[in-house]
Structure 1
Amino acid sequence: MKGRITVVVLIGVFVLPVVVAKLVLEQSWYQKGVTNYGQFLAEPVTLNWLAEKGQWRLVYAVPEPCGAQCEQALFQLTQIPIAVGKERDRVTSIAVTRTARREPDVLTWQTLNAAQQEDLQQPPFAPHSLYLSDPMNNVVLAYPISDDNTQWVAQGKGLLRDLKRLLKLSKVG
């Protein structure tokens, strides 16, 4: 009798966790966490005309005229590559614009032609958003720019965390 109870207890100890785990997954009781702060693009977008090939790039389409949100985005474009630290040479910031503009000098400025402007007008691109592009020219994540300063700071921290994680995991760029 004592031997049977021991066998049943041993089987229960090893089988019960597997059964419970399967039940939790099948019933969708488990909500897995999200580790990225940006929004993944619904469909992949490749921009072969971006400057600085072979690097991770922060891309922002500068609107005309450049208002408060634009100034916030340009500030982030200048600060985030510095904040990356020792991986700084793997990251660059690109401000794309319709007209030639060169301040601040820390950024790479790229003037768009008509076809390139059309690319940025198509979905999934939205106005007032920063985009993260990988070294293979694929736009990976979008970061909408907020009017609120507290959200703006949180978004910058999230972008920096995402970028550091990608640089750590990626051997490309």
Structure 2
Amino acid sequence: MKPTPSDDPKATGPESLTFTLHDTPAPMRDYSAAQSRRGRITMLVILFACALPVIASYFTYYVIRPGGRTNYATLIEPQRPLPSLDAVPAQDMNGHSVPLTTLKGQWLMIVVAPAGCGKLCESNLFLQRQLREMMGAERDRIQKVWLVDSSEAVEPALAAAVAAPPAVATYRVERSALAGWLEPEAHHQLEESLYIVDPLGNWMMRTPANPDPVKLKKDVDKLLRASAWWNRAKDTP
């Protein structure tokens, strides 16, 4: 802005000034919308990067080799997530309510049997233990689980055996509640199979009744290899 003398020759006192406005600065650009869009894109990229290993491993296992892959156990489709405490009330052996969802983070190998644990139950618990040990260095990625579907006490000797490290996570549940989540093989009982749940908490595989350990080991090997780059053993206290 340039000051100019007044053109009035009769002006008295201090000289009057006038101002001519030549230009104004451009208004500051509003960057808020662009920043918001950039932030959303960055967040989506981060979420996709976190999910990519899981997506890729499942794609590899289920899609890439459908012709060359044979499963001994039955794949559950669609998969069924671990139920909430409301859907399947569960208690530890001290009577405290515990959501089954707390088991997420590891591969679960589940045996269902009453507290009396007859010959079939003992056989499945032994198979569960042997399969875990056969995984060698990867065994800590597997959690053994026994869902006790009756109200009587577990025999002290058996309770001590399943509590010995590496312990079997043992929970008491109602058999009728389990029916809304696990499903036995056709024409068989719930306790005749083992049930495999992935680290995301989805029941995704059921063994045949009286499973063959060698054939089942091959399935478990495949699962552990397919998930090796995104699943690690859960930290233990």
Superposed pair shares fold, TM > 0.5 = yes
SS in 2 for 1:144: coil
Q: Which amino acid aligns with 1:107?
A: V
- CA RMSD in angstroms, aligned pairs only: 2.4
Cα distance in 2, alignment partners of residues 51 and 95 from structure 1: 15
Are 2:103 and 1:52 aligned? yes
Q: Which has the higher contact order (CA 8 A, sep 6+)?
A: 1
Q: Structure 1 residue 33: deviation in Å? A: 5.0
Task: Please show how residues 17-36 of structure 1 align to structure 2 within 5 Å.
Answer: 32-36=67-71
Unaligned runs of 5+ in 1: 1-30, 147-151
SS at match of 2:104: coil
Say if 2:185 is the partner of 1:136.
Answer: no
Q: Deviations over 1:51-81 (max 9, x none)?
A: 5320001011113542322221111111111
- Residues 110 and 65 from structure 1, CA distance in 2 versus in 1: closer, same or farther, beyond 3 angstroms? same
Partner of 2:183: 125
Rounded to whole Å, the distance in 2 between the matches of 1:156 and 1:50 is: 27
**Kept after mapping to 2: 8 A contact 1:55/1:91:** yes
Equivalence for 1:43 = 78
Change (3 A) 1:51 1:93: farther
Which runs of 4 or more aligned residues in structure 1 lie more than 6 Å from their structure 2 counterparts after TM superposition? none
User: How high is the TM-score relative to the length of structure 2?
Assistant: 0.50
TM-score by length of structure 1 reads: 0.66
Superposed displacement of residue 47, structure 1: 1.2
Aligned equivalents of 2:208 and 2:101: distance in 1?
A: 20
Write the mapping of 1:51-130 to structure 2, written as runs, cut at 5 A: 51-63=102-114, 65-98=116-149, 99=151, 101=154, 102=159, 103-105=161-163, 106-112=167-173, 114=174, 117-122=175-180, 125-126=183-184, 127=190, 128-130=192-194
Count of residues paired in the alignment: 133
Q: Distance in 2 between matches of 1:50 and 1:160?
A: 25
Q: How big is each residue's C-alpha offset from its partner over 1:113-136, in whole Å with a ceiling of 9 and x where there is no partner?
A: x4xx43422475111210110001
The superposition leaves residues 67-124 of structure 1 with CA deviations (integer Å, 9 ceiling, x where unpaired) of 3222211111111111110011111110011345324323221122x4xx43422475
Q: Which protein is richer in helix relative to its size? A: 1
Provide the secondary structure at the position in 2 that maps to 1:81. Answer: helix
Instruction: Identify if the C-alpha distance between structure 1 residues 142 and 167 changes in structure 2 by more than 3 Å, giving closer, same or farther.
Output: same
